[in-house]
Amino acid sequence: MYKIAHDQEEILIRFEKDLVDSGILSKFLSHINLQSMLKKSGKGDAGTRLREQNRLAALPSGIDLLRDPNLNKGSAFTLQERETLGLTGLLPPRVHSLDEQVQRILENLRKQSTDIERYVYLIALQDRNKTLFYRVLLDNIEELMPIVYTPTVGQACLEFGHIFRRPRGVYITARDKGRVAELLGNWPFRDVRVIVVTDGERILGLGDLGADGMGIPVGKLSLYSVCAGIHPSQSLPITLDLGTDNASLLNDPLYIGLQQPRIRGELYDELVEEFILAVQQVFPGCMIQFEDFANRNAFRLLQQYRDQICCFNDDIQGTAAVTVAGILSALRCTGGELKDQRFLFLGAGEAGLGTGGLLVQALVEQGLSEEEARRCCWYVDSKGLIVKSRTDLSEHKQQFAHDHPEIADFKEAVETLRPNAIIGVSGQPKRFTPEILEFMAQINERPIIFSLSNPTSKSECTAEEAYTWTEGRAIFASGSPFPPVRMNGRNLYPAQGNNVYIFPGVGMGVVASGASRVTDEMFLVAAQTVAQEVSETDLSYGRVYPPLPRIREVSLAVAIAVAEVAYKDGLAVTPRPADLKEYIQGLMFEPEYSSYI
Ligand code: NAD
């Protein structure tokens, strides 16, 4: 089915003819990125001429072309394109290059006075010209990541109804029961390979933001394209709007979601089930990423669907992988072995328990029994240390309950358990106090301090606090970015344990191999790969993750490792290509203008 090498020209021509006739991408080639195929096809023959005719016939012209963000090039349309496509006179006379357009965008972006204004500006650009949007992001990832992702995306969700300009993605509400497939069918693209879906109940550490949580799937999918080159037309953000229990949103006249309390119980489950089945029907084989569901639904939905369909939960599994990657890198600094560490988590929710689960898997791979492995991971939640005598523990927490006297206070738990690493995933700010940090530095030459709660205002401690109270010896990572800290005459660069090191690469590995499931082993190899991508120089500056400008290379390496697991475990629908790296590279979307004539 996918042996395009032999008949590539013929199939490509038919493929584009389909596009012209139906306005949709052919399902037959749903796997293949159109742009990569166009790039790879030959030039100067009869096939090329026919393709060009097809392509021209498929293009809108004049003002419609300028208003289509997928096709618009703005001032970069060449004079010849302007003549042929009815654009002459509709654009200022001078033709600019993509690089010059990037320069203009950056100039304007930097003039905005707040990050939320920069966010709105970037989203408006995405609505106008997608190629330029992705180019700007890819070339300036370090500067713009905090705008399109945490922390600014959190602020954007808090203000979503007020900054709302144009809809993006699909909203499915309780009143759509029985017709979810029809709604998905309204999406203009058929070749959807990745869906990010939220019900908006636990947006970052900000709680229930209802339909305003749509900013998160939109932002995450932009990062799939920027970081791993998933083509933008292959991704779809979805919000399941089942109401909100956030009173201030319900009273806000500009709130964009249903004005009703959250639906729970059977009706909730039925709608989710209908959504899952509709995706299989409308976008077969598409990977679903569950995002920012509250604890009560996140674990059980993952458990219910992970062995049935191609899906994962980023808050549980993505966070686990990026945290384990950071730990593996940190151990390169301390010289310690994973099996000898004691990890104490503040917070036993999706992020904390997910990380514990993956650590156990890594330790079992190194020869420990599951029970021995679990003894490395300790948790304090809102009620204190998780121990066997507690009667209030969920099934997931019970797995990490140890035989130990109860301890109510985190500081006391640190002093009693003397951990090598403290990992904050509680959403509670300032819980890593100076006394706790000083104590960690007393008992560890290089204490590992991960303060992962988002956004910045929820962080358990700042980078400056972590370095100050440990005499600069902490190996620090945070969820939201912190600026470098100058200590003892040198700069320390706090690492950001950003899930973006993981999910785009995992997604690309799954899409490239056509994997039917997303497994824990895939997340473990993703974590190991990210850790391997950290150089000695990075470590010397205190960075336990690779620099963000290398994110495409890192995501490619992750995608290869994940695809290898899919091939090894018989989960892939396609045979393994001889050169997997070249194959995946060929699928990666490059934000560049292609010529329309
Ligand atoms: P969650 O709601 O599933 O879990 C929160 C946990 O914190 C619960 O176990 C709760 O009992 C505990 N908690 C609440 N108050 C506490 C207190 N006073 N003392 C001790 N524990 C307390 O949420 P989650 O998905 O696990 O996310 C937690 C935090 O981690 C959020 O702020 C989120 O933004 C952040 N996070 C960061 C990353 C990252 O950095 N890559 C990824 C995912 C989540």
Residue 479 CB less than 6 A away from ligand 1? yes
Active-site option among 220, 379, 501, 596: 220
CB under 8 A, 24+ apart: contacts of 429-436: 429/453, 429/457, 429/458, 429/459, 429/460, 430/460, 430/461, 431/346, 431/460, 431/461, 432/346, 432/460, 432/461, 432/465, 432/466, 433/461, 434/465, 434/468, 434/469, 435/411, 436/410, 436/411
Q: Report the separation in Å between the CA atom of 22 and the middle of ligand 1, taken as the mean of its atom positions.
A: 47
In a shared domain, residues 303 and 383:
no
**Cis before residue 146, ω within 30 degrees of 0?**
no
Question: What is the average per-residue pLDDT within 151-164?
Answer: 92
**39 is known as an active-site residue:** no
Task: Single out the residue of 371, 364, 387, 197 nearest to residue 292, CA to CA.
Answer: 197
Angle among Cα 453, 559, 494 to the nearest 5 degrees reads 30
Task: Single out the residue of 353, 340, 318 nearest to residue 497, CA to CA.
Answer: 318
In a shared domain, residues 305 and 341:
no
Q: Report the separation in Å between the CA atom of 548 and the middle of ligand 1, taken as the mean of its atom positions.
A: 24
Residue 150 CB less than 6 A away from ligand 1? no
Which atom of ligand 1 is the closest one to the Cα of 478?
40
Which atom of ligand 1 is the closest one to the Cα of 454?
34
Q: Report the separation in Å between the CA atom of 478 and the middle of ligand 1, taken as the mean of its atom positions.
A: 13
Residue 422 CB less than 6 A away from ligand 1? no
Residue 356 CB less than 6 A away from ligand 1? no
d(CA 403, CA 375): 10
Q: Which domain holds residue 17?
A: 2-59
Asked, for residue 402, whether it belongs to a domain, the answer is: yes
Residue 380 CB less than 6 A away from ligand 1? yes
Asked, for residue 554, whether it belongs to a domain, the answer is: no
Beta strands 384-385 and 377-381 are: antiparallel
In a shared domain, residues 392 and 272:
no
In a shared domain, residues 304 and 341:
no
Question: What is the average per-residue pLDDT within 281-293?
Answer: 97
Q: For 409-454, where are the E strands, in sequence order?
A: 421-424, 448-451
Q: Report the separation in Å between the CA atom of 239 and the middle of ligand 1, taken as the mean of its atom positions.
A: 22
Q: What percent of the chain is modeled with pLDDT above 90?
A: 86
Give the per-residue pLDDT at 55.
Answer: 66
Residue 413 CB less than 6 A away from ligand 1? no
Number of domains in the chain: 3
Among 459, 478, 499, residue at a domain's last position = 499
Asked, for residue 242, whether it belongs to a domain, the answer is: yes
| φ, ψ dihedrals at 392, nearest 5° | -105, 15
Q: What amino acid occupies position 541?
A: Y
Instruction: Find the DSSP H helices in 457-578.
Output: 463-468, 503-513, 520-532, 536-540, 551-568
Note the pLDDT tens digit of each residue in 457-509.
999 999 999 999 999 999 999 998 899 999 988 899 999 999 999 999 999 99
User: What pTM value is reported for the model?
Assistant: 0.90
Give the per-residue pLDDT at 216.
Answer: 95
* DSSP H or E segment with residue 82: helix 79-84
Which atom of ligand 1 is the closest one to the Cα of 427?
32
Asked, for residue 87, whether it belongs to a domain, the answer is: no
In a shared domain, residues 344 and 304:
no
Give the per-residue pLDDT at 349.
Answer: 95
Give the per-residue pLDDT at 52.
Answer: 62
pLDDT tier, 50 (very low <50, low <70, confident <90, very high otherwise): low
In a shared domain, residues 302 and 352:
no
Question: What is the average per-residue pLDDT within 114-128?
Answer: 96
Nearest CA to ligand 1 atom 8: 349
Which of 155, 216, 353, 452 is the pocket-test mutation for ligand 1 (most atoms within 8 Å of CB)?
452
Asked, for residue 552, whether it belongs to a domain, the answer is: no
pLDDT tier, 67 (very low <50, low <70, confident <90, very high otherwise): very high
Which atom of ligand 1 is the closest one to the Cα of 353?
26
Q: What is the Rg, in whole angstroms, of the alpha carbon atoms belonging to the chain?
A: 25
Residue 452 CB less than 6 A away from ligand 1? yes
Structure tokens at 523: 């997340």
Residue 426 CB less than 6 A away from ligand 1? yes
In a shared domain, residues 274 and 369:
no
Give the per-residue pLDDT at 436.
Answer: 98
Q: What percent of the chain is modeled with pLDDT above 70?
A: 90
Angle among Cα 230, 479, 509 to the nearest 5 degrees reads 25
In a shared domain, residues 174 and 302:
yes
Give the per-residue pLDDT at 23.
Answer: 38
Residue 315 CB less than 6 A away from ligand 1? yes
Asked, for residue 571, whether it belongs to a domain, the answer is: no
**149 is known as an active-site residue:** yes
Note the pLDDT tens digit of each residue in 84-102.
999 999 999 999 999 999 9
Cβ within 8 Å of residue 19, ≥6 positions away: 25, 26, 54, 58
In a shared domain, residues 407 and 487:
yes
Which atom of ligand 1 is the closest one to the Cα of 348?
9
d(CA 327, CA 420): 11
Instruction: State the maximum Cα–Cα separation within the chain, in Å, rounded to a whole number.
Output: 80
d(CA 357, CA 188): 39
In a shared domain, residues 290 and 344:
no
Active-site option among 119, 134, 149, 255: 149
Note the pLDDT tens digit of each residue in 309-354.
999 999 999 999 999 999 999 999 999 999 999 999 999 999 999 9
Average pLDDT, the chain: 91
In a shared domain, residues 403 and 270:
no
Q: Report the separation in Å between the CA atom of 525 and the middle of ligand 1, taken as the mean of its atom positions.
A: 24
Question: What is the average per-residue pLDDT within 357-372?
Answer: 96
Task: Single out the residue of 102, 110, 116 nearest to residue 147, CA to CA.
Answer: 116
Q: Report the separation in Å between the CA atom of 161 and the middle of ligand 1, taken as the mean of its atom positions.
A: 26
Question: What is the average per-residue pLDDT within 439-453?
Answer: 97
Residue 186 reports pLDDT greater than 80: yes
Residue 350 CB less than 6 A away from ligand 1? yes
In a shared domain, residues 349 and 404:
yes
d(CA 252, CA 441): 47
- CATH number of the domain at 185, please: 3.40.50.10380
Cβ within 8 Å of residue 235, ≥6 positions away: 192, 193, 194, 195, 196, 221, 224, 225
Q: Report the separation in Å between the CA atom of 550 and the middle of ligand 1, taken as the mean of its atom positions.
A: 28
- CATH number of the domain at 454, please: 3.40.50.720
Give the per-residue pLDDT at 58.
Answer: 76
Give the per-residue pLDDT at 61.
Answer: 87
Give the per-residue pLDDT at 273.
Answer: 98
Nearest CA to ligand 1 atom 18: 382
Residue 10 reports pLDDT greater than 60: no
Give the per-residue pLDDT at 132.
Answer: 98
Which atom of ligand 1 is the closest one to the Cα of 499?
41
Beta strands 490-492 and 485-487 are: antiparallel
Residue 382 CB less than 6 A away from ligand 1? yes
Task: Single out the residue of 357, 341, 310 nearest to residue 524, CA to CA.
Answer: 357
Task: Single out the residue of 161, 169, 166 nearest to residue 249, CA to CA.
Answer: 161
Cβ within 8 Å of residue 310, ≥6 positions away: 285, 286, 287, 288, 510, 515, 516, 517, 518
pLDDT tier, 14 (very low <50, low <70, confident <90, very high otherwise): very low
Residue 497 CB less than 6 A away from ligand 1? yes
d(CA 31, CA 46): 26
Residue 457 CB less than 6 A away from ligand 1? no
Q: Report the separation in Å between the CA atom of 214 and the middle of ligand 1, taken as the mean of its atom positions.
A: 20
Cβ within 8 Å of residue 206, ≥6 positions away: 154, 157, 158, 455
Asked, for residue 54, whether it belongs to a domain, the answer is: yes
Residue 424 CB less than 6 A away from ligand 1? no
Give the per-residue pLDDT at 34.
Answer: 38
Q: What amino acid occupies position 334?
A: T
d(CA 358, CA 338): 12
Which atom of ligand 1 is the closest one to the Cα of 477?
40
Residue 297 CB less than 6 A away from ligand 1? no
Give the per-residue pLDDT at 232.
Answer: 95
Among 462, 478, 499, residue at a domain's last position = 499
Give the per-residue pLDDT at 372.
Answer: 96
Nearest CA to ligand 1 atom 12: 347
Asked, for residue 396, whether it belongs to a domain, the answer is: yes
Give the per-residue pLDDT at 46.
Answer: 61
Q: Report the separation in Å between the CA atom of 183 and the middle of ligand 1, taken as the mean of its atom positions.
A: 33
- Compute CA distances 515 → 378, 454, 523, whole Å: 34, 31, 14
Q: Which residue has the higher pLDDT, 597 or 423?
A: 423
CA terminus-to-terminus distance, the chain: 30
Angle among Cα 152, 157, 159 to the nearest 5 degrees reads 95
